[in-house]
Structure 1
Amino acid sequence: MANGVLSHITQAKNPACLPHADDTDGDDHMYTADDFPALAPEPENIFQGDFFGTDYQGDELDWLEEGGRGRGQAGSEPTASDPEDSDSDASNYNSDDATPTAMGWEAPRQTTTAENDKVSNSEPAEREILEYNPVNRQRIETALHQGMHIQAFPDTTGAGSPVLEGNIPDSHPAGYGLYEAQIRKLCNNSHSRDYAPFLSKLEWEVARWAKLRGAGSTALADLLGINGIQQKLGLSFKNARELNKIIDSLPAERPKFKCEQIVVAGEAFDVYFRDVIECIRALYGESRFARHLVFLPERHYADADRTMRLYHDMHTGKWWWAVQKAVEANTPGATIIPIIISSDKTQVTLFSNKTAYPIYLTISNLPKDIRSKPSQRGQILLGYLPTSKLEHITNKAARRRTLANVFHACLGRILAPLCKPGVDGLPMTSGDGVTRRGHPIFAAFVGDYPEQILVTGVKSGQCPVYDVPHDELGDHCSLSHAFRDIDKVLDVLDTADESPTEFMRACADIGIKPIYEPFWRHLPYADIYLSITPNVLHQLFQGLVKHLVSWIKSAYDPVEIDARCRRLPLNHNVRLFFKGITSLSRLTGREHSDICRILLGLIINMRLPDNLHPGMLVCAVRAMLDFVYLAQYPIHSDETLASLHNALCRFHDNKDVFVTLGIRADFHFPKAHFPQHYRFLIENLGTTDNFNTEYTERLHIDFAKDAYRASNRKDEFPQMTLWLERKEKVLRHNQYIQWCEAGRPPLQIINPLHKLHTSHVKMTRYPSAKSCFI
């Protein structure tokens, strides 16, 4: 039997028909499926103290916090010799606990074997470590630029096929034609045809400036209050309130926010969120995205013999192919809509420590080039989670568990509508007017390490993917450990209604926190432990590179390092640190990326203390830099992934030099361990630029920081959501006006199979330099 692609694709308590293997030989080993039984609604529980209704005193939880170690020493905390290793402080993050709702679906159940990750009690096989070969690297990279050979998903069941084609006139392309018809209902003959409901182009440009670039409602009111300026500009609105009425009358492209209260531990929390299904419809049905949408998984190869697999977007990975087969076995003719959820708490003020907790959503039917650009609006703000710190709960253990349950309860309420459509499907109309039966399925979660342990429920200092003890995190290729078994986790979660003490002990035995109702529990075909994605920003640049730079500062004389920084010659695309790097603090990911470009040149031929040979240190640094740059490839092949693995092996084989120098005692921290999963996750979900948290950090500016500054800082979330809704309407109307000014061109659809074969050359319209000398 071939190796399985997904270790635990799950669907329901009665196992659904799932592929046990795939991706190289095409074997279709299936499990038989039963129907999904419905769950009766469960009564709402009100708790006091922590989620289990207990007000813990003294050291009643000491067994859980310190001595309660189950598999993988779940209760232990990391003991790092370097204070920078404390990546695991999740106590400042909200964790959830969901009040059970009548979703009508049993918990997912299914177990398969993860490809390339077999469980074995034997020691890892001896590795063949190859020396760095620039000629071989050049050959591998040249192969990535060759033409692709595409194997489409077999169309034997009508997967991805339309179920209904819209009858839309050419003069009224999908989306804009409907939008124009809605605009006409708001206007009369006195309005300009292209700029309605605004009287003229000037009025529209003033309104757009006021909402996208203006200084605020008060400043706009003062401007319009100047005697005679309204008449000179020919504006129909006299103040910001009248302008808001015009904007509120525009058709809404995306759903409105609503507020609900979630009760956890006897306390009510306000959650502002949108309907998740309508958000998916908005992204899927956007006219600008119609020609870019992908409806079926594909296998891409670099050669006609299909011996070298290529990976880039999610639809070229193994996860989508396996899930498509699983869904087709139950409901033929499905179109998978993979859901990517991102979350990250951010500070919206400089001094008062005010925070917001936005949740973002996007779909993998959109190419990563669109999802990664905020200007394309391929990400949508799904909601704001509560940011309460629950300081009235004095017991720290109870507070942390209540925060975790609050997070899961709120996010579970937001994502609850995905349960039934993920199995049965629902009609989804794309921007070209074609309707397919879409199955929105949770595919990936994007976040930094505190967010990862929060959503998976594992202990701080543990790997969110592998069930590996903390004191083995620094070891390379721990093949004796397996992916966390979601079936065992769900079996333990089913005992939550029993004794709270026994439930917490059972959770500690399998290495998770006592979360009553995780948000992913009822989501079909979802395995949260295989949904955690690589993170270039926080795991590599703000993780390994940050540690590597600090180790080098400890190994060498800081004065000599800074002197070498000043001696580096000027060069294009290389940032020089003329004041050195040893005194820098609070570096960003971009700055760590700039340091990577000069780091190896700084340490070449630099003497170590006690005349130790620097060969191992140079090899370790070079190997880590190789891994960092290889991990960022926008397209990977089997050979580049082998090089990625080889670079990691070379680092681990030379890392003991830092122990010899007394800089490190061990490497037992999660960010040193997680790169071992990069190869498997890239093969499964696509390359790392699909999930970089750098995109989330950029979205914070538009959806959290700017929105907060537009409020009056009192009861801010209703104002923030209203401000965002108006901004989205203005952006949508701006796209419509651009379409009108372009002559209302018909929508052009590009065959997705040929998109990758089209060559485009991007050139700067206004270059920063008129010429350069080489």
Structure 2
Amino acid sequence: MYHDMHTGTWWWDAQETVELDHPGSTSTTIVPIIISSDKTRLTQFKGKSAYPVYMTIGNLPKEVRRKPSMQGQILLAYLPTSRLEHITNKAARRRSTANLFHACMEKILRPLHDPGENGVELVSGDGIIRHCYPIFAAHVGDYPEQVLVTGVKTGQCPCCKVPADALGDHDHDYGWRDFDAVLEALNIADDLLRKNACIAAGIKPIHKPYWQDLPYANPFRAITPDILHQLYQGVIKHLVSWIETAYSKAEIDARCHRLPKNHHVRVFTKGITSLYQLTGREHADIARVLLGLIIDMPLPGGASPVRLVRAVRAILDFLYLAQYPVHTTSTLSLLDDPLDRFHDNKQIFVDLGVRTSWKIPKLHFLRHYSYFIRRLGTTDNYNTESTERLHIDLAKDAYAATNAKDEFPQMTLWLERREKLFRHENYVRWCLNGRPPHPVSHAAYQPPADRLKMTLHPSRNSVLFQQVTAEYGAPFFVDALARYIVKFCHPAYTPAQVEVASNDVPFLFRSVSVYHKAKMWLGDLNNHRILSDESDVIHATPSREDKRGRSVDGHFDTVIVNDGVGGYSGVTGYRVAQVRVIFTLPKSAAPLFGAVGLLPPKFLAYVEWFTAFGAPDPNHRLFKIKRVIRDGDRLASVIPLRAIRRSVYLFPKFGPVAPRDWSSGNVLDRCGAFYVDSFSDRHAFHTIH
């Protein structure tokens, strides 16, 4: 099982190597040093930028390291951002820029040389003095940063020896770069011989790269997978552009505009083809709906879209599997399967004229993901998304506090003072409370006490039955509620008996209190978390007018309902339904349940049913469902709100052309068939299959 960094093989190998090099030493503790570097813009117009270098250690839990408020990352330095424009020769300028980077990094990391080789005594969080070996373990950065760190040429893999023109070969293993051969080449004194030896070893002739003298370091195995830049800003960005080239852009945008609303899914009301300079979050939003846009869209010229749909499904499977916070040997084998499926079907993009070659280093690097997860832990240990967030606190805010002249000394002074204030505030709080404000521990995650969270007061009190029917689209509310009361009081009744007895239910009330949304925790006590924020919101909001008098469509979410035997994962024991009303019964309803001596659940929901899950489609692997219609009417029931597992997103079955009278607000009512989306969020991918 792989999750935090200590579960990876690198840590255990480093521990064994250090103990072999220092026999007889006791209490040997490895301190993995994780370096992050990335250039960021400080201003929108003046072109000023900063090049911060951050450091954290693998001993901290990943939940601590990726939260800026926990102070798990520190700023080491700002690297020079000069473009060296005084060097007119472009090749010489590139060499000088690389040498400048490595010279600065060597100076920054020089204090690691002796402690990494001989160890140093440090006090850990539990107060015990340990003999620690701080060892460079990983350098986190985007692809240009990886090329700069390893010294390989742009367009090549920073880790393995695959030729640039063979990056698309999936069936060949070219082996890892030989670090010993690189060190031998770098140690040659003669400049010409050294240059030729470096080229033969596969790197540029850098003058003293910063990792050359770091003990136990291997830069080609220290490059980490990067979900943000390699997947969202890399492969997914490419995939979206390929789809826009293959299909009609107008039809893609028309379908985007007609997708239903959901808590996890963003509706692109103006489409996606006209968007530019997209962020990683926007690419993530597109990935949630990308498969649903193309499922039944025909290709120009009558070509079969089967291979394209399979290729898209494969990339999305890899994207979500790669983000698992916990991996096992079995899930890592699942990670290899979608890569095989993509490469089996990628020729369709060449046949359509979308691609002419596969020289894409970011796409090639996906084959190394399973190795690095085994080596360094899961990808959320070193995602550059955390580094991007640090730019705000440690670069952009610091620059905003300066007068924009000779800014870096002012930025460092401002940050130093802020850290002193932070430490003093923590010390005062510790003195008052008798404990540290942010204890760092591996204590088990404490889930919410109740997975259902409702507002203290209902959205509307005393809504008449007639209003529920007219405003919330619940025409059989009274009948469904009567059947629920009979079934609750007489669990052994057959459906026919329930139907007969429901006609005689004496309603002592004519209104209910209505809630327009319910918040649920998606986690499970016996399973690891899939998300950092596992919350889901279910809406049941009627149409209304905004402050400007404009009509706002109602929002009635679709959900999966547990029939009593549903498990944590999978669709067995679940049915899809659309929530029309979330309500509570008034106190005057208590006599209806007096005979059984039990009160019904406080929160109930009126839902309309869809057909049961069948077999998924063999190409896009999604489940197809329809509404259940009886005698021309939708089948509806009243159920306990707690029977709902979570919201679920449905892709409308548009057909060859999306009907233009459909909209985001009415598509759930007008469309006849739907596909259940597995990609609305990571929890949905893990559970709906």
TM-score (norm 1): 0.57
User: Are 1:492 and 2:182 matched, yes or no?
Assistant: no
* Secondary structure, counterpart of 2:265 in structure 1: coil
Which of 287, 296, 309 is the matching residue for 1:596?
Answer: 287
Query: In the alignment, what sits opposite 2:37?
Result: 343
| Match in the other structure for 2:175 | 482
Q: Which amino acid is the alignment partner of residue 384 of structure 1?
A: Y
Q: Displacement of 1:759 after TM fit?
A: 4.5
CA distance in 2, matches of 1:746, 1:353: 41
Aligned-residue offset at 1:770: 5.7
Whether contact under 8 Å (1:348, 1:704) holds in the other structure is yes
For residues 157 and 41 of structure 2, the distance between their equivalents in structure 1, rounded to whole angstroms, comes to 26
Q: Which of 107, 119, 123 is the matching residue for 1:429?
A: 123
Please tell me the residue identity of whatever aligns with 2:283: H
Instruction: Please name the residue that 1:708 is paired with.
Output: 399
Structure 2 distance, partners of 1:318, 1:448, is: 23
Distance, in Å, in 2 between the alignment partners of 1:602 and 1:573 is 17
In structure 2, the partner of 1:501 is 192
Post-superposition CA distance 1:25-74 (Å, at most 9, x none): xxxxxxxxxxxxxxxxxxxxxxxxxxxxxxxxxxxxxxxxxxxxxxxxxx
State how far apart, in whole Å, the 2-side matches of 1:525 and 1:471 are: 32
Q: 1:635 aligns with which of 316, 326, 343?
A: 326
What residue identity is the alignment partner of 1:353? G
CA 1:770/1:618 → structure 2, altered by over 3 Å: closer, same or farther? closer
Partner Cα distance (1:745, 1:604) in 2: 56
Q: Does 1:727 align with 2:414?
A: no
SS in structure 1 at match of 2:36:
strand
Residue of structure 1 equivalent to 2:133: 439
CA displacement, residues 563-606 of structure 1 (integer Å, 9 cap, x when unaligned):
11111112221111011111111100000001111000000110
1:717 match: 408
Partners of 2:441 and 2:170 in 1: CA distance: 43
Name the aligned partner's letter for residue 38 of structure 2: D
Larger strand fraction of residues: 2
Matches within 5 A, 1:540-689: 540-689=231-380
Mapping of residues 230-379 of structure 1, within 5 Å: 310-331=1-22, 332-333=25-26, 334-379=28-73
Structure 1 CA distance for aligned equivalents of residues 426 and 372 of structure 2: 37
1:761 partner letter: P
Question: What code does the residue aligned with 1:661 have?
Answer: L
The answer on whether the counterparts of 2:430 and 2:436 sit within 8 Å (CA) in structure 1 is: no
The one-character-per-residue Cα deviations of 1:292-328 (angstroms, maximum 9, x if unpaired) are xxxxxxxxxxxxxxxxxx1001100111011111111
Report if the CA contact (8 A) 2:54-2:75 is conserved: yes
Measured at CA, do residues 327 and 538 of structure 1 come closer, stay the same or move farther in structure 2, by a change above 3 Å?
A: same
Partner residue in 2 for 1:279:
none
- Answer whether contact 2:426 2:437 (CA < 8 A) is retained: no
**Poorly superposed stretches of 4+, deviation over 6 Å:** 746-751, 762-769
1:431 deviation in Å? 3.4
Q: SS of the counterpart of 2:161?
A: coil
Equivalent pairs: percent with the same residue? 59
Of residues 447, 453, 461, the one that matches 2:155 is 461
Separation of aligned partners in 2, 1:416 and 1:467 = 29
- Structure 1: stretches of 5+ with no match in the other structure: 1-309
Residue aligned with 2:97, SS: helix
Query: 1:452 corresponds to which residue?
Result: 146
Letter of the aligned partner of 2:43 in structure 1?
T
Question: 2:448, 2:333 → 1: CA distance?
Answer: 30
Tell me which amino acid in the other structure corresponds to 1:615.
V
Contact 1:408-1:517 within 8 A present in 2 as well: yes
Partner of 2:484: none
Partners in 1 of 2:232 and 2:282 — Cα distance?
9
**Secondary structure at the residue paired with 2:46?**
coil
**Among 447, 450, 460, which residue is 1:760 paired with?**
447
Alignment of 1:60-71 (within 5 A): none
Task: Please tell me the residue identity of whatever aligns with 1:654.
Answer: N
**Structural mapping, 1:736-755, within 5 Å:** 736-742=427-433, 744-745=434-435, 755=443
- Quick one: structure 1 residues 751 and 470, their matched pair in 2 at CA, closer, same or farther if it must change by over 3 Å? closer
Unpaired stretches in structure 2, ≥5 consecutive residues:
457-515, 519-538, 541-578, 580-689
C-alpha separation in 2, matches of 1:563 and 1:348:
37
Q: Is the 8 A contact 2:125 2:440 kept in 1?
A: no
* Aligned amino acid, residue 419 of structure 2: E
- Residue 275 of structure 1: aligned partner: none
Structure-2 change in CA distance of 1:764 and 1:690 (3 Å): farther
Distance 1:748 1:382, change over 3 A: closer
Contact 2:429–2:437 at 8 Å: present in 1 too? no
**Deviation for aligned residue 1:736:** 2.3
Q: Distance in 2 between matches of 1:594 and 1:741?
A: 45
In the TM superposition, what is the alpha-carbon distance from 1:415 to its structure 2 partner?
Answer: 0.6
Contact 1:346 1:356 (8 Å CA) reproduced: yes
AA in 2 matched with 1:719: Q
Q: Give, in whole Å, the separation in 2 of the partners of 1:606 and 1:346.
A: 40
Distance 1:440 1:766, change over 3 A: farther
Residue 430 of structure 1: CA displacement?
Answer: 2.0
Whole-Å separation in 2 of the counterparts to 1:590 and 1:695: 13
Superposed CA offset, 1:641-676 (max 9, x none):
111100111011111100000000011110110000
Q: Secondary structure at the match of 1:311?
A: coil
Report the secondary structure of 2:388's partner residue: helix
In 2, the alpha carbon distance for the partners of 1:431 and 1:716 equals: 36
The amino acid across from 1:588 in the alignment is T
- Partner Cα distance (2:73, 2:453) in 1: 27
- Deviation for aligned residue 1:402: 0.8
Give, in whole Å, the separation in 2 of the partners of 1:343 and 1:567.
Answer: 41
* d(CA) in 2 for partners of 1:664, 1:748: 51
Shift of 1:764: 11
SS of structure 1 residue aligned to 2:410: helix
1:332-372 deviation line (CA, Å, top 9, x unaligned): 32100000000001111111111111000000000000001
> How many Å separate the matches in 1 of 2:382 and 2:38?
13
Relative to structure 1, the CA distance from residue 629 to residue 747 in structure 2 (aligned partners, 3 Å threshold; closer, same or farther) is closer
Structure 1 residue 477: Cα displacement: 3.9
Q: Which structure has the greater CA radius of gyration?
A: 2
**Take 2:386 and 2:313, find their aligned partners in 1: how far apart are those partners?**
27
Change (3 A) 1:410 1:765: farther
Q: 2:106 aligns with which of 409, 412, 418?
A: 412
| Whole-angstrom CA distance in 1 between matches of 2:223 and 2:448 | 34
For 2:455 and 2:124, the matched residues in 1 are separated by 37
Do residues 392 (structure 1) and 86 (structure 2) align?
A: yes
Aligned pair count reads: 458
Larger relative contact order (CA 8 Å, sep ≥ 6): 1
Map 1:164-175 → 2, pairs under 5 A: none
Question: C-alpha separation between the residues in 2 aligned to 1:363 and 1:375?
Answer: 16
2:573 is aligned to none
CA contact (8 A) 1:477 1:676 kept: no
Specify the code of the residue in structure 2 equivalent to 1:723.
W
**Aligned-pair CA distance for 1:432:** 3.4
Which residue in 2 is equivalent to 1:13?
none
Correspondence for 1:383 among 58, 61, 77: 77
Change (3 A) 1:669 1:747: closer
Q: Distance in 2 between matches of 1:344 and 1:721?
A: 17
